[in-house]
Structures are given as structure tokens and as C-alpha cells.
Structure 1
Amino acid sequence: MKKIPILEYIDKMISGNLQEGEKTYFNYPTPISNTLSIEIIGIKPGEAKLAINTNTELHGNQQGTIHGGLLCELADAAIGTAHSTIVMEGESFTSIDFKINFFRPVWNDRLTAYAEPINKGRTITTYKCDIFKSDGKLAASAVSLVMTLNGDRAKGR
């Protein structure tokens, strides 16, 4: 088994060039992303672009639109993926705050989430994640504080 840096691993995963036995120090693709069919479609250091095909039969709420919790998960997954590219092996991280604003209802559509840092600190990084509908209109925007953990605080996470 060959461990490779997370950024290289995700880049190879996106392009379909992962070799048998290549691993990294985080679990990608994540089980929740597999369950919801969230795809990583772009990656740079500290940035991530994810997408999901929404379906009101699977992801709908009582009003018939896509449940806001799905948009929260998409934004959180994008932010977590972005942050995972800048932590070192042996470190981990956790969200300490998350806020989302919903601007437009979503039905059956392809959503794209783009997460990037808006303020980087040694321990705390603030991220913004915009979620766009296939027509390019902003559906939601989230902001999250992410804390990097190291040493004993990172163990078991």
C-alpha cells in the first residue's frame, strides 16, 4: 500500500488515474458522499468543487423542493474537502461553526458547490461555499469555521 498526499489522491480519483493500492490519510470518497452521490469535480490547494444531481423523489421536502439539509451537506462536503487538502498527515480537523443562506428553491437539477478559504489562520480557517444551479444562478451560500487539530487532539478523528 502506497500512501500519497491527499491533493494528489483526490486529483487522481477525479481523473480516474488511481493505481491499485494507493491510499491517503483521509477516507475518500467519503461514505456520505457515496450515499448521496456527491462527486468531487475539481480540486486545488484549499479549494474544492463538488456536484450533485438532485431529484425531488429522493431529496425532496414536504413542499416538493430539494431539502435544505442536502444543500447543507453539499456545502459541508465541499468545505471539508477543501480543508483536507491543506492539513498535513497526522492532523485532522473539525467544523466549529456553519451557517447557510438559501436564495432559490431547487428541484431536479445539477448543483455545483465551490468552497474556498476567505481567511486562513494557523488553527482556524474561514471558508465560503457557493452552490449554483445548472443555470448559473446562486441557490445557496454557506460560511464555516474549520479548526485544524494536531497531536492528541487529532487522534481518532
Structure 2
Amino acid sequence: MDAPTPDPDLFAKAGLIRLLGIQPQQVGDGRAIASFEVGEPHTQHHGFVHAGAVATLADHTAGAAANALLPPGKAVLTVEFKVNLLKPVTGPRVTAEAEVLRAGRQLHVVESRVYAGDPRVLVAVALVTLSVVDTPAVRQ
């Protein structure tokens, strides 16, 4: 059996992901890496990167890692996630590295580690549970 092909639209067609400028660097074999360059849309009132931007990056990158293991006609949707924010994030680049810990028939569990700064520092860790679902028909 051939390995599943990662969905090229996973980042390109997700509106919030485009809005935040999250770009995939690597997707495949139950792993994914994605990042964004920190800009004004990512910040909160004190100038740090907003926790929501960090959580979105961790979650979507986890979904990409899980999605890379699925056969055609299947997708994953987050059902639960927990994010530990370890330190304030200022940038200039924020990167998530996700790895599937368990790929089940109905649920996948993925860990995302988020790094920022130069030198690179671990700033957040997320544990994401995703449900395997049938891909809906695309509306024209």
C-alpha cells in the first residue's frame, strides 16, 4: 500500500492559517513543522505573541502531522487540546514541530512543541487529540 500523500490545501485553504501567515516547512510520516514570522497581527496588548496565535500554530501543525497518516477520504478534526505556555514569546519567528504519538482508527494523539527566538527556545507544548472523520464533499 502506498503512503498517504499530505493534503496540499491543509494550509492554503484554511482562512485563519492564511491570516496568521502560518507556512508549512515539512509534512509527512506522522510529523509536521510549520511556522510564522511575528508581526502586529500576532501580538497582544503588551507586545508579546498572543497565546491564541501560539495555540493555533500548535493545533494546526498537529493536525497536519496526523493528516499525513490518513488514507484518501479521511480527515482529522481537533476534539481536545491542552497547551502549556512556558514563557512569553516575542519572535522573530515561531515554529511548531508536531509528532503523532498514537494513530488510532478513531483518534490520533499528537504532541506539538513550539519554539521561538534566536537562539531557539522551547516556549510551549501542546497535546492534541484529533478525531478521524470522513472528508465532506467539497461545495462549489
**TM-score in terms of structure 2 length:** 0.84
Residues 39-69 of structure 1, C-alpha deviations (whole Å, 9 max, x = no match): 10012221100011112x3221122211100
* 1:100 matched to 2:83: yes
Please tell me the residue identity of whatever aligns with 1:51.
Answer: S
> What does residue 67 of structure 2 align with?
84
> What does residue 31 of structure 2 align with?
47
Superposition deviation, residue 27 in structure 1:
4.7
Q: For the pair shown, which has the larger CA radius of gyration, 1 or 2?
A: 1
* Distance in 2 of aligned mates of 1:59 and 1:32: 12
> What does residue 155 of structure 1 align with?
136
* 1:67 matched to 2:66: no
The answer to whether the Cα contact below 8 Å between 1:6 and 1:84 also exists between their aligned partners in 2 is: no
SS of corresponding position for 2:63: helix
> What does residue 127 of structure 2 align with?
143
% identity of equivalent residues: 23
CA 71–93 in structure 1, closer or farther in 2 if over 3 Å, else same: same
The answer to whether the Cα contact below 8 Å between 2:96 and 2:112 also exists between their aligned partners in 1 is: yes
* Distance in 2 of aligned mates of 1:34 and 1:45: 24
* Distance in 1 of aligned mates of 2:62 and 2:123: 17
- The structure where helix makes up a greater share of residues is 1
CA 96–39 in structure 1, closer or farther in 2 if over 3 Å, else same: same
* Distance in 1 of aligned mates of 2:96 and 2:88: 15
Where in structure 1 are there 5+ consecutive unaligned residues? 11-25
Superposition deviation, residue 120 in structure 1:
2.2
* Distance in 2 of aligned mates of 1:110 and 1:27: 21
The answer to whether the Cα contact below 8 Å between 2:20 and 2:42 also exists between their aligned partners in 1 is: no
Please tell me the residue identity of whatever aligns with 1:48.
Answer: A
**TM-score in terms of structure 1 length:** 0.76
SS of corresponding position for 1:113: strand
* Distance in 1 of aligned mates of 2:19 and 2:45: 21
